[in-house]
Amino acid sequence: MTEITWPWQYNFPPFFTIQPHAETRAKQLEAWQQLIVEYLKATRQSTVDVRETQNNPLFNNTAINRKLSQEAVLTILEDMARTGRAAPTDKSKNVWEVYWHSLDEWGNMVYNWACSNGLNNSVCTLFELREGENTVDEEFHGLDMNVLLKALKALEIKGKCELMEFDDNQGVKFF
């Protein structure tokens, strides 16, 4: 697990209280979103379970004895959802997918990779994209399956690829 460089806010007690002052709050939420994304990226996670946040070092700074409440976490995640950087996976809003990049960005990233590797009009399996040797240096290597799928679906709508299923595997054909 990578060592995380915490931002200065992490050791600033007011960071763990949602600020009522609008401007301050905006700055605070922004800082949180950055931190969450950084943290997930560093630990290679893409979901946040609100119910499990209380013991997560991300939301619980034991050094200054402050932790972010569940409501506050929810507030931040909902704010992220507005900008398309997170989405709840269930109605009860307990588990959230957090995107290091927006789905569009992911899609473009995959598409660009495919183009630059001359994979147009050919088919790749999703397994190849996530685990293949060719993608080791790419950011989307090891990306959560569901996130990848959503990104590709968004790409499909734009007409840049087509998802297909064969046997028990899923594949994608880039145009």
Partner 1 sequence: MDRFEYIEARLFEGENYIKRDKNVKIYDGDDKTQFTDGEVVLTTHRILWGKPGDIPRGLVCLSLHLYYVFCIEEESGGVFGLGGPKRIILNLSPSLPGKRPGPAVVSTYHFLKLSFKDGVDPAFFKALYDAIAAKEWESPSTVATSLSVSSPTTSAKPSGPTVNSKIRSGIVGIERSIEEQHRATDQSISVAFQDLTKLMEKAKDMVAISKAISAKIREKQGDISEDDTVRFKSYLMSLGIDDPVTRDTFRSDSDYYMGLAQQLSDMMVGVLMDCGGIMSLADVWCRVNRARGLELISPEDLLNACKLLQTIDAPLSLRKFPSGACVLQLNSQRDEEVAKNISGLLEENETLTPVKLSQIANVSVLLAREHLLITERLGMACRDESMEGLAFYPNLFLRESAS
**What does the binding site for partner 1 look like in residue numbers (CB under 8 A)?**
8-9, 12-14, 16-17, 19-21, 23-24, 27-28, 31, 65-66
Q: Buried b / exposed e across 10-36, counting CB within 10 Å, b at 16+? A: beeeebbebeeeeeeeeebbebbbebb
User: Smaller CB distance to partner 1: residue 38 or 105?
Assistant: 38
Minimum distance between the CB of residue 59 and partner 1, rounded to whole angstroms? 14
Residues contacting 174, CB < 8 A, separation 6+: 111, 114, 115, 119, 120, 121, 122, 124, 160, 161
SS3 161: strand
User: Smaller CB distance to partner 1: residue 32 or 99?
Assistant: 32
User: Smaller CB distance to partner 1: residue 73 or 110?
Assistant: 73
Minimum distance between the CB of residue 67 and partner 1, rounded to whole angstroms? 9
Minimum distance between the CB of residue 72 and partner 1, rounded to whole angstroms? 10
